[in-house]
Copies of this chain bind each other. A is one copy, B any other.
Amino acid sequence: MRLIDGGVTASEGFFAAGISCGIKKNGKKDLAIVCSEDLAAAAGVFTTNIVKGHSLQVTMEHIKSGYATAIVINSGNANACVGEQGYRDAKEIAELTAPYLECMPENILVGSTGVIGVPLNMEVIKPAIEQLVSEMSPDGGHDALEAIMTTDTVPKEIAIEFNIQGKPVVIGGMAKGSGMIHPQMATLIGVITTDINISRGLLQKALSEVVSHTFNRVSIDGDTSVCDMVVILANGMADNPPIINEDKDYKRFKDAINYVCTELARMIAMDGEGATKFVEIIAEGAASEKDAYNIVSAVAKSPLVKTALFGEDANWGRILNAAGYSGASFNPEKVDIYLGNLLVCKNGAAVAFDEAKAKSILQQKNIVITLKLKEGKFSDRMWTCDLSYDYVKINGSYRT
């Protein structure tokens, strides 16, 4: 497995484009398409928020067939909570795009990200679709990525190549999202493309399992959005013997997609709104899987932990405190806490530690916090960032 250049168009038979059609007032790109030459097997993971964006609802319907040709995504507007018009608008985007790609509207997926509660400006989107399709190219992945970004400050894409029975296979992906990020869903918009030949069922299985411990282990602010999805298209053009069983080829594919999703998820946490630090929270030795998850989730969400990290303050009491209210069952008097490799709390109590060393660890851009519970064999980890003035600034004035 090796890293290669590019993102969603790195795989054989994928085209993409990203243009500015006028949804964003600042003139930045706001309309993207990612398209497969042939109809591709398609799978997706969607927000668990019971409020669901209209575009996302259309995609959930269309993907039920198991196949898709393309996905059209706009940024600058979530197309959510605007009533029936929102559903009709998303449908219309699919209907207007399909003829250009010579496919059925049901084979077009639709995504939207941005502000909630404002109707899509279809007057600028409708005439732009022809241009969008005409600009598609095998080098268009990066433009498409730019067109789905909102408060992201860094583009997030990756591509890898590996072999299945001697055939080179590529997986490429892009993701957006830096606020309103927390598990219980896909937590963002991610599009992954691959030329692998795999059954639709195994594609969904691999994606669901991988997302559960990659994208669903990122928390920026504990808010889960209504529009978030990860979609994968697999067009089979790598011409490998089709993967139809959970054999070693499936395992190789799953490892590869796990790598892609892990890297994209970490990029999301690193680019969290206002983030100055990337933080990995690890719980080891929990009595159950759920306990381990509850602990990393509570610590990653705690505003007190996150502001202390921003302030580079080794305030480990807040970490233990968050674990304590997480709902996990454990004996606080057995917990050890490490900042990096520095033990700061042993058996639930303070230990004398070198404050200068703690400070130097907390001054780094990448921080690992480990809680050792000594209760059992379960572990989990979550990626997050600190809570800074800029988070407040970005979100205090997002809509206006």
Contact = CB atoms under 8 A, between A and B. Distances in A.
A194 interface: no
Interface stretch (A14-22, A123-131, A346-354): A346-354
Interface string A289-325: 0000000000001111001101101111110111111
A222 interface: yes
A26 interface: no
Contacts of A48: 325
B345 A81 contact: yes
B83 A348 contact: yes
A223 B399 contact: no
Given A82-B350, A302-B223, A348-B83, A396 B307 contact: yes
Interface residues of A, number: 68
B321 A116 contact: yes
Contacts of A214: none
B49 A399 contact: no
A82 to B, nearest CB: 5
A313 B398 contact: yes
Interface stretch (A60-68, A200-208, A384-392): A384-392
A179 B307 CA distance: 12
A51 interface: yes
A225 interface: yes
Listed residue (A81, A222, A394) with the most chain B CB atoms within 10 angstroms of its CB: A81
Contact of A350 (B50, B118, B397): B118
B224 A325 contact: yes
Contact of A395 (B118, B308, B320, B400): B308
Given A51-B332, A320-B116, A304 B387 contact: no
A310 to B, nearest CB: 5
A41 interface: no
A51 B320 CA distance: 7
Contacts of A315: 115-116, 398-399
B317 A350 contact: no
A303 B395 contact: yes
A89 to B, nearest CB: 13
B397 A321 contact: no
A394 to B, nearest CB: 8
Contacts of A398: 308, 311, 313, 315
A99 interface: no
Contacts of A119: 350
A195 interface: no
Contact of A303 (B223, B226, B325): B223
A393 interface: yes
24 contacts: A50-B325, A50-B329, A50-B332, A81-B317, A81-B350, A83-B348, A115-B317, A117-B350, A184-B325, A185-B325, A221-B304, A223-B322, A303-B303, A303-B387, A303-B391, A304-B395, A307-B395, A307-B396, A311-B395, A311-B398, A311-B400, A313-B397, A315-B398, A392-B392
Contacts of A301: 222
A273 to B, nearest CB: 10
A330 interface: yes
Interface string A245-278: 0000000000000000000000000000000000
A316 B320 CA distance: 34
